[in-house]
Structure 1
Amino acid sequence: MSFTNPILPGAYPDPSICRVGDDFYMVNSSFEMFPGLPIHHSRDLVNWELVGHGLHRKEQCIDPICLTDVQSDGGIHAPTMRYHKGLFYIITTNVYVPQDCPEGFNPCKNFIITAKDPAGPWSEPQVIDGAPGIDPDIFFDGDGRVWYVGTHTPEDQAYPGQGEIWLQELDLATVSLKGERHFLWRGTGGDWVEGPHIYKYNDRYYLMTAEGGTGFNHAVTVASSATITGPYVSNPKNPVLTSRHLGLDYWVNSTGHGDLVQLSDGRWFMVCLGIRNDIEGRSNMGRETHLVPVTWEADHYGIDENKSDILWPVCAPGTGRVEKCAERPFASAPLNDKNHFVDDFSTPELSKEWTYRRVPRAATCEVLPEQKRLRIRSGKPVGERVSASLAGFRQKQSHFRFQATLHLPETFENSESGIGLIQKDDHHLLMSLMKKGANPELAVTLNGEQLAVSELPSGIRDLQLMITCDQNGYHCSYAVATESNSEQIGVIKNIPVNTMLSRYYTGALCCLHSSLDSSLDSSLKSESAIEFVDFSKVRFEPVLTATVC
């Protein structure tokens, strides 16, 4: 029986995994998104449920973890999740550059949060002083010592992009580094050695890293040592996983940044990121989480101090590739539907899949379960460092149909409200209802530039909006929402797919938005702008081009 990669479709990069008994937990990078650090649970490695977030309270994300006005591609990078003596730990980096950045400012804050239950609540972040770089790892050794594994740029850097992995003991009582700092490895010669994880297996320590940057040359490399402080010897078969040798036509690229987990029966698997090759080697979902089996084999070189064979991890034995379809780790597990998203807002709490770009202002969204609606209060439009008035969920498939019904209040004068796809603050496709004269208009904009506009009948109150994507591009349409009418009327067709391709770091959000008309002056906004719009019947579904194993 097979499963389909990715196991977490949508923008879930930099996965880290841990096992507690028969339960698996995984955390991913979230960058500018709030809530941050999404945490999924599984019992079979292929069916995953979003159970919570490590950063789920506004108070966790103000200072020094600034997610209120964080810059694009800043925010939460490459976490590690581990379990030790009844407590879950997440260690990660927040990258924040102030708008008026002082000279010498360190943009990287490495911090720890803890929880007894991965669903939360999670603790306040505790920043680790004197820890440069990104992508920290935490390792609990059998002798009771706890180690911080970090990255930095060495002072004697041999070439641009060369990095180095370092190690130092961590005092959990004070959340501070202590003792000597050890410099472990500079990788195999690739750029940006980062994303370190340390494991102990077969009485040896293994240091696994990501190299080559998070693009086409991305790879997983491994070194090993008899002692945790080194010296580390490089696996002669490095890299243990990459897609850079498979050419530009392979279905996934940029595979790397992996984390290992051992099953209770002794088997091993790796979770890693990869980018679907939709067009130009990129995908609108950005980097997603994939699963590959792992075995251990001796190298027969006898290069350790005892002249005995060292065991090395072998990823995807027999192929060495992240496969689109692969054998399920647990054959009896039924596959859930991970490619659809439906919300009718019938419960008091907003679904965990809804997210924001940065910490939202108070009361941006309100669920109205009796009316089965989500109310969004009109506010700021999408923009750099702005907490825009929107809510979204991660796009899950390349070709899809995304729709929602928009309900207008009795007066509608000064807002732009609708649905859209948002990659970045300056990279988005929006379909927005607005009123410029006697009748409302429905406009489609790409990165703020208007592509098309349709005038609608006066007195319109309920409108079903739809964005679809297929091999011909994006298509925007609407229908006047009544019980007897569902005919879709096109606004624009065939917007080229490459207009919305990911900029590598993050993937698209399918969003509901309501912003005040940016052309209005502040006095008019405060006196006559509408306060909210409502949405209902949100649905995302893939079209039939998606591969199912």
Structure 2
Amino acid sequence: MKRILLLFLISASIQGFSQKASFLNPILPGGYPDPSICRVGDAFYIVNSSFEYFPGLPIHKSKDLINWEIIGYGLHRKEQCNDEVNLVDVQSDGGIHAPTIRYNQGTFYIITTNVYYHQDTKKTDFVNFIITAKDPAGPWSDPHVLEGAPGIDPDIFFDEDGRAWYVGTHSPEKPNFPGEGEIWLQEIDLVNWKLTGERSFLWRGACGGVWAEGPHMYRKDGRYYLMIAEGGTSYNHAMMIAVSDKIRGPYVPNDRNPIMTSRHLSYDNWVHSTGHADLIELEDGRWYMVALGIRGDENRGSNMGRETFLLPVQWEREPFDWKENKYEWPVIAPESGRVKRFNPIVFQGTSQKRNNTFIDFFDKPELGLAWNFRRVPLEEAYSLDAKNGKLTLHTLKETIQERGRASLMGFRQTESDFEYQVKMQFDPAKEGSEAGALIIQKDNNYISFTLIKKNNKIHLQLKLVSTETGTSILKETALDKKFEHITFKITSSDHQYYYAYSLNGRRFESFYSSTADLVLSKKYTGANLGIYASGNGKNTREKAVFDWVTYKGYQKF
């Protein structure tokens, strides 16, 4: 009966926005930054940065640009994450940065950077590599590392003559000011997976060039367009573009740069820090842009971090007669010049079926694609019993810590207001054994709502680990009553978190409340709602058995 009720609630919520002839931004709610998009026939594919999370490089598919389904990951096997592409003990906000996805002659390509900081040498490796697949859902190849490719945020560009080009970002040898970036170009030998030929330096940006990065190259009407991000990934984020008749330049900047930004808007605008974008041409000749942005729901920030938004694009030619060579430039969101919450649908006859729910009964042979781990998971962290619909986390000695791995898994928070429930069976016998629910941004920025064995009693504990205040127990109480299961419930509403629990599955007891900005996203990733177990330094080897998790996000208009 419980499953039937939960499934009914989800079905009802999916239909909630399906009758309107417009769509809501973001099109990929939750922590999906640095979007790159390609089209194959009538299907579109987006890949996003995943940083320290595994599996890495999430891939979504759509037929209408407004309804997206996750279909797989570019880095989906532990064997892909070896010494060169290390996601085992990578630092927070390291890992996979700013991918580009492209399709050429029957093959999909993703090119990206893995950023790994070596604690012993105090040096950072920027490993740029390509993976390929015939089917974007996978399997994807092992990484082909491109030696001698400095910097981050590479683009792969296939020209009409069949040649493939690497378009990269690096810091020039003689920068004019701190943070100056430079875009460079070199041909790629896709047989031997190496850079070949002469390297060309194309552009240092339009408006001072600070943090010029994230390049994408396009060919339109015989000309080469180079679009880049500038200004960093906060409020001054922006998109710039330049054009050339030859791939190696020289490139002429658009006089009207930036072509897309929110830097001129109030800090209180509903979305800010927009940028790091990619362009896509539709079959009918229209163009659109996907870009990241940060909603300002909580103190001008967002627990979801950077998300993916969709904007219309219109190409216009310079109108002035005195120009000898008038260029055509993309105009982003031509009617408003900004990212809007409500937008006309892209294709007539379609509607957006907004699904801000997630439920897992753990009755499938494999984990659902929404689940993520902070780094490549430990072999003994979890086990799945699909026959009985149970997922077990094991209380290993590992705890949540920087560059560490623990018995922890989660999925992306998609709205500021939500309700999250977890049903768990856990009867620990050993001191220190702990398991339950959590909201996690980083290894030093999370809230855990758990059962823990202390002083021969089972305690219900709410703990905050914060970058500002360190570790604090918000509330803790011993549970003297015998129970078989516990259901945790975390609700976010009107800028407040409410924590409750039930020992009988029917009546919830209020436990605590707090502001909703305790673990606000401050860097590259958004919040994950998850489950967790630990022996807190000891391999207590006890089992936390989870029956189900449910999540429903509530949209703010």
Q: TM-score range by the shorter chain?
A: over 0.9
Q: Which moved more, 1:436-445 or 1:381-390?
A: 436-445
Offset, 1:294: 0.4
CA distance in 2, matches of 1:481, 1:138: 56
CA distance in 2, matches of 1:472, 1:296: 41
SS in 1 for 2:517: helix
Q: From 186, 189, 197, give the equivalent of 1:168.
A: 186
Offset, 1:133: 0.5
CA contact 2:431–2:456 (8 Å) conserved in 1: no
Offset, 1:377: 1.5
Offset, 1:364: 1.9
Aligned pair 1:468/2:491, yes or no? yes
1:477 maps to what in 2?
500
2:480 maps to what in 1?
457
SS in 2 for 1:216: coil
CA distance in 1, matches of 2:124, 2:305: 27
Which residue identity does 1:389 align to in structure 2?
Answer: S
Aligned pair 1:546/2:547, yes or no? no
CA contact 1:91–1:112 (8 Å) conserved in 2: yes
Moved over 6 A (4+): none
Offset, 1:376: 1.1
* Cα deviation 1:502-533 (Å, max 9, x = unaligned): 01311011010001134xxxxxx34xx24321
Within 5 Å, give how 1:329-478 maps onto structure 2.
329-379=346-396, 380-409=398-427, 411=429, 413-447=431-465, 448-478=471-501
Give the 3 Å change call, closer, same or farther, for CA 234–517 of structure 1 in structure 2.
Answer: same
CA distance in 1, matches of 2:477, 2:489: 14
1:98 maps to what in 2?
118
1:292 maps to what in 2?
311
SS in 2 for 1:59: helix
* Cα deviation 1:53-83 (Å, max 9, x = unaligned): 0000001012110100000110000000000
Q: Which moved more, 1:362-371 or 1:429-438?
A: 362-371
Give the 3 Å change call, closer, same or farther, for CA 262–370 of structure 1 in structure 2.
Answer: same
Q: Considering only aligned residues, what root-mean-square deviation do their CA atoms show, in Å? A: 1.5
Offset, 1:301: 4.7
CA distance in 2, matches of 1:179, 1:266: 34
Offset, 1:487: 1.5
Offset, 1:275: 0.1
* Cα deviation 1:65-118 (Å, max 9, x = unaligned): 01000001100000000000000000000000122126xx45100000000000
Which residue identity does 1:254 align to in structure 2?
Answer: S
CA distance in 2, matches of 1:125, 1:192: 27
* Cα deviation 1:383-409 (Å, max 9, x = unaligned): 100012111000010011111101125
Which residue identity does 1:326 align to in structure 2?
Answer: N
CA contact 1:74–1:96 (8 Å) conserved in 2: yes
Aligned pair 1:313/2:323, yes or no? no
CA distance in 1, matches of 2:316, 2:108: 31
Offset, 1:438: 4.0
2:129 maps to what in 1?
111
Aligned pair 1:200/2:219, yes or no? yes
Which residue identity does 1:161 align to in structure 2?
Answer: G
2:529 maps to what in 1?
510
1:522 maps to what in 2?
none
How many residue pairs match? The answer is 530
CA contact 1:28–1:39 (8 Å) conserved in 2: yes
2:544 maps to what in 1?
533
CA contact 1:90–1:114 (8 Å) conserved in 2: yes
Q: From 257, 273, 294, give the equivalent of 1:254.
A: 273
CA distance in 1, matches of 2:124, 2:52: 18
Give the 3 Å change call, closer, same or farther, for CA 336–413 of structure 1 in structure 2.
Answer: farther
Offset, 1:338: 2.7
Q: From 516, 525, 528, give the equivalent of 1:497.
A: 516
CA distance in 2, matches of 1:434, 1:460: 14
Within 5 Å, give how 1:150-165 maps onto structure 2.
150-165=168-183
Give the 3 Å change call, closer, same or farther, for CA 57–158 of structure 1 in structure 2.
Answer: same
CA distance in 2, matches of 1:208, 1:302: 25
CA contact 2:412–2:527 (8 Å) conserved in 1: yes
SS in 2 for 1:96: strand
CA distance in 1, matches of 2:322, 2:81: 47
CA distance in 2, matches of 1:438, 1:106: 46
Offset, 1:302: 7.0
Offset, 1:190: 4.1
Within 5 Å, give how 1:35-184 maps onto structure 2.
35-101=55-121, 105-184=123-202
Q: Please, which runs of 5 or more residues in structure 2 have no aligned partner?
A: 1-20, 466-470
2:285 maps to what in 1?
266
Q: Which moved more, 1:366-375 or 1:237-246?
A: 366-375
Offset, 1:331: 2.6
Give the 3 Å change call, closer, same or farther, for CA 119–346 of structure 1 in structure 2.
Answer: same
CA distance in 1, matches of 2:436, 2:174: 53
Percent identity between matched residues is 51
Could you tell me the TM-score, scaled by structure 1's length? 0.94
Which residue identity does 1:420 align to in structure 2?
Answer: L
* Cα deviation 1:200-226 (Å, max 9, x = unaligned): 001110000000000000001100000
Offset, 1:179: 1.1
Within 5 Å, give how 1:234-245 maps onto structure 2.
234-245=253-264
CA contact 2:429–2:453 (8 Å) conserved in 1: no
CA distance in 1, matches of 2:463, 2:527: 16
CA distance in 1, matches of 2:378, 2:305: 27
Which residue identity does 1:369 align to in structure 2?
Answer: A
Aligned pair 1:12/2:12, yes or no? no
1:220 maps to what in 2?
239
CA contact 2:313–2:331 (8 Å) conserved in 1: yes
CA distance in 2, matches of 1:156, 1:462: 63
CA distance in 2, matches of 1:113, 1:75: 15
Q: Which moved more, 1:44-53 or 1:343-352?
A: 343-352
* Cα deviation 1:134-174 (Å, max 9, x = unaligned): 00000000111111000111122111111110001111111
Q: Which moved more, 1:411-420 or 1:344-353?
A: 411-420
1:324 maps to what in 2?
341
CA distance in 1, matches of 2:320, 2:190: 39
Offset, 1:381: 1.5
Could you tell me the TM-score, scaled by structure 2's length? 0.93
Give the 3 Å change call, closer, same or farther, for CA 54–303 of structure 1 in structure 2.
Answer: farther
* Cα deviation 1:313-365 (Å, max 9, x = unaligned): 00011101110010110132232233111111121111000000000011322
CA contact 1:21–1:264 (8 Å) conserved in 2: yes
CA distance in 1, matches of 2:523, 2:257: 24
SS in 2 for 1:541: strand
1:521 maps to what in 2?
none
